[in-house]
Amino acid sequence: MPDLMLLGLEEQVLELEAGENPAESFPCMPCQGVHSDIRTQLYAMLMGIFYDEAESLEQLALEFSAEGPYLFKLDVTITERLADIEEDDIETIVGHWSESADMSDMHLGDEDLQEMLSTFLYNLVHFCLLIRQEPVLSVFIYSDG
Protein backbone atom coordinates (compact mmCIF):
# COMPACT_ATOMS: atom_id res chain seq x y z
CA MET A 1 0.00 0.00 0.00
CA PRO A 2 1.42 3.43 -0.86
CA ASP A 3 1.97 5.93 1.95
CA LEU A 4 -1.20 7.59 3.18
CA MET A 5 -1.79 10.70 5.25
CA LEU A 6 -4.67 10.30 7.63
CA LEU A 7 -6.58 12.43 10.07
CA GLY A 8 -7.89 11.20 13.38
CA LEU A 9 -7.92 11.12 17.15
CA GLU A 10 -4.60 9.74 18.31
CA GLU A 11 -6.21 7.22 20.68
CA GLN A 12 -8.33 5.79 17.87
CA VAL A 13 -5.56 5.81 15.27
CA LEU A 14 -3.25 3.92 17.63
CA GLU A 15 -5.85 1.14 17.82
CA LEU A 16 -5.21 0.22 14.18
CA GLU A 17 -4.13 -3.36 13.77
CA ALA A 18 -1.67 -4.89 11.34
CA GLY A 19 -3.32 -5.59 8.02
CA GLU A 20 -6.18 -3.17 8.69
CA ASN A 21 -6.70 -0.59 5.96
CA PRO A 22 -6.70 2.85 7.67
CA ALA A 23 -8.81 4.29 4.83
CA GLU A 24 -11.74 2.21 6.06
CA SER A 25 -11.73 3.99 9.44
CA PHE A 26 -10.23 7.45 8.92
CA PRO A 27 -10.20 10.25 6.37
CA CYS A 28 -7.15 9.49 4.21
CA MET A 29 -5.36 10.95 1.24
CA PRO A 30 -2.62 9.27 -0.77
CA CYS A 31 0.86 10.75 -0.39
CA GLN A 32 1.11 10.79 -4.19
CA GLY A 33 4.38 8.86 -4.10
CA VAL A 34 5.98 11.51 -1.88
CA HIS A 35 8.07 9.33 0.41
CA SER A 36 9.70 10.14 3.74
CA ASP A 37 12.94 11.61 2.36
CA ILE A 38 11.09 14.03 0.11
CA ARG A 39 8.64 15.01 2.86
CA THR A 40 11.58 15.66 5.18
CA GLN A 41 13.12 17.97 2.55
CA LEU A 42 9.85 19.92 2.52
CA TYR A 43 9.78 20.19 6.31
CA ALA A 44 13.41 21.35 6.42
CA MET A 45 12.77 24.00 3.79
CA LEU A 46 9.57 25.27 5.44
CA MET A 47 11.06 25.40 8.93
CA GLY A 48 14.49 26.68 7.89
CA ILE A 49 16.23 23.77 9.64
CA PHE A 50 18.67 21.05 8.67
CA TYR A 51 17.46 17.77 7.18
CA ASP A 52 18.45 15.73 10.26
CA GLU A 53 16.43 18.07 12.49
CA ALA A 54 13.45 17.84 10.13
CA GLU A 55 13.43 14.03 10.38
CA SER A 56 12.08 14.35 13.92
CA LEU A 57 8.93 16.11 12.67
CA GLU A 58 7.42 12.73 11.73
CA GLN A 59 7.43 10.87 15.03
CA LEU A 60 7.01 7.10 15.13
CA ALA A 61 3.69 6.47 16.86
CA LEU A 62 3.11 2.81 16.05
CA GLU A 63 5.23 0.01 14.60
CA PHE A 64 3.19 -3.02 13.60
CA SER A 65 6.34 -5.15 13.15
CA ALA A 66 10.04 -4.64 12.51
CA GLU A 67 9.29 -4.73 8.76
CA GLY A 68 6.34 -2.35 8.99
CA PRO A 69 3.90 -0.96 8.41
CA TYR A 70 4.59 2.13 10.50
CA LEU A 71 2.48 5.01 11.66
CA PHE A 72 4.08 8.43 12.09
CA LYS A 73 2.49 11.44 13.77
CA LEU A 74 3.30 14.89 12.41
CA ASP A 75 4.71 17.17 15.08
CA VAL A 76 2.60 20.21 15.99
CA THR A 77 5.35 22.60 14.86
CA ILE A 78 5.18 21.39 11.26
CA THR A 79 1.38 21.12 11.22
CA GLU A 80 1.12 24.73 12.40
CA ARG A 81 3.58 25.86 9.73
CA LEU A 82 1.71 23.93 7.03
CA ALA A 83 -1.62 25.40 8.17
CA ASP A 84 -0.14 28.88 7.66
CA ILE A 85 0.47 28.25 3.94
CA GLU A 86 -1.88 30.09 1.63
CA GLU A 87 -3.21 28.20 -1.40
CA ASP A 88 -1.72 30.87 -3.67
CA ASP A 89 1.76 30.10 -2.26
CA ILE A 90 1.68 26.35 -2.95
CA GLU A 91 3.01 26.64 -6.50
CA THR A 92 5.97 28.79 -5.38
CA ILE A 93 6.77 26.45 -2.48
CA VAL A 94 6.60 23.43 -4.79
CA GLY A 95 9.00 25.14 -7.21
CA HIS A 96 11.58 25.68 -4.47
CA TRP A 97 10.98 22.22 -3.01
CA SER A 98 11.45 20.42 -6.32
CA GLU A 99 14.74 22.26 -6.88
CA SER A 100 16.10 21.66 -3.38
CA ALA A 101 15.30 17.96 -2.98
CA ASP A 102 16.61 14.98 -4.93
CA MET A 103 13.57 13.96 -6.94
CA SER A 104 15.43 11.74 -9.44
CA ASP A 105 13.97 8.54 -7.97
CA MET A 106 10.49 9.79 -8.85
CA HIS A 107 11.21 9.28 -12.59
CA LEU A 108 8.79 12.03 -13.62
CA GLY A 109 8.98 14.91 -16.05
CA ASP A 110 8.99 18.42 -14.58
CA GLU A 111 5.29 19.05 -15.22
CA ASP A 112 4.15 15.72 -13.74
CA LEU A 113 6.47 16.18 -10.75
CA GLN A 114 5.13 19.68 -10.08
CA GLU A 115 1.54 18.41 -10.28
CA MET A 116 2.23 15.49 -7.94
CA LEU A 117 3.99 17.67 -5.35
CA SER A 118 1.30 20.35 -5.59
CA THR A 119 -1.47 17.82 -5.01
CA PHE A 120 0.37 16.34 -2.04
CA LEU A 121 1.08 19.73 -0.47
CA TYR A 122 -2.46 20.98 -1.10
CA ASN A 123 -3.93 17.91 0.65
CA LEU A 124 -1.47 18.12 3.54
CA VAL A 125 -2.13 21.84 4.07
CA HIS A 126 -5.87 21.17 4.18
CA PHE A 127 -5.48 18.35 6.72
CA CYS A 128 -3.41 20.75 8.85
CA LEU A 129 -6.10 23.43 8.55
CA LEU A 130 -8.65 20.90 9.78
CA ILE A 131 -6.61 20.09 12.88
CA ARG A 132 -6.23 23.81 13.57
CA GLN A 133 -10.04 23.95 13.65
CA GLU A 134 -10.33 20.68 15.62
CA PRO A 135 -7.24 20.52 17.88
CA VAL A 136 -8.16 17.04 19.19
CA LEU A 137 -7.26 15.65 15.75
CA SER A 138 -3.76 14.86 14.49
CA VAL A 139 -2.20 14.18 11.08
CA PHE A 140 -0.50 10.82 10.63
CA ILE A 141 1.48 9.16 7.86
CA TYR A 142 0.84 5.44 7.36
CA SER A 143 3.79 3.82 5.61
CA ASP A 144 4.63 0.26 4.60
CA GLY A 145 8.30 0.96 4.92
60 conformational bin, left if phi > 0, alpha if psi -120 to 50, beta if neither? beta
Q: How many domains does the chain have?
A: 1
Structural domain harbouring 130: 4-143
- How does pLDDT run across 125-143, given as a tens digit for each residue? 999 999 999 999 999 999 9
Q: How many residues does the chain have?
A: 145
- How does pLDDT run across 32-88, given as a tens digit for each residue? 889 899 999 999 999 999 999 999 999 999 998 888 899 999 999 999 999 999 999
Q: What is the pTM of this model?
A: 0.91
| Eight-class DSSP state of 105 | G
